[in-house]
Amino acid sequence: MPELPPAAQSGDEHTGAPGGPASGSASHRVLATQSYRVQMADVDAASVIYYASPLRWNEMLFTGWLASIGHRLRDLLDAGVGCPCVESAARYLRPIHLDDELELQLRGEGAGRSSARMRLTVTDAGGELAAEVTTRNVWVELARHGAMRSAPLPEWFRASFEPLAGVVRVAGATTPTTAVPAPPRAPAPLLGGA
Q: Give pLDDT, residue 139.
A: 97
Q: How confident is the model at residue 183 (pLDDT cuts 50, 70, 90)?
A: very low
Q: Give pLDDT, residue 135.
A: 98
Q: How confident is the model at residue 131 (pLDDT cuts 50, 70, 90)?
A: very high
- Is the separation of the CB atoms in 36 and 145 below 8 Å? no
Average pLDDT over residues 179-190: 43
Q: Where are the domains of the chain?
A: 28-169
- Is the separation of the CB atoms in 96 and 131 below 8 Å? yes
Q: Give pLDDT, residue 184.
A: 40
- Is the separation of the CB atoms in 139 and 153 below 8 Å? yes
Beta bridge partners, 134, equal 89, 119
Q: What DSSP string runs through 13-62?
A: TT---S--S----TTSEEEEEEEEEPPGGGB-TTSBB-TTHHHHHHHHHH
Burial (0-12, 13-18, 19+ Cβ within 10 Å), 111: buried
Mean pLDDT over the full length of the chain: 79
Q: Give pLDDT, residue 27.
A: 59
Q: Is the pTM of this model over 0.85?
A: no
Beta bridge partners, 30, equal 107
The dihedral of CA 135, 7, 192, 163: what is its sign?
positive
Average pLDDT over residues 9-19: 35
Q: Give pLDDT, residue 161.
A: 82
Closest CA to 136 of 4, 18, 5: 18
Q: Give pLDDT, residue 168.
A: 52
Per the model's pLDDT, the better-predicted residue between 76 and 9 turns out to be 76
CB-based contacts of 164, cutoff 8 Å, min separation 6: 26, 29
- Is the separation of the CB atoms in 86 and 15 below 8 Å? no
CATH number at 28-169 = 3.10.129.10
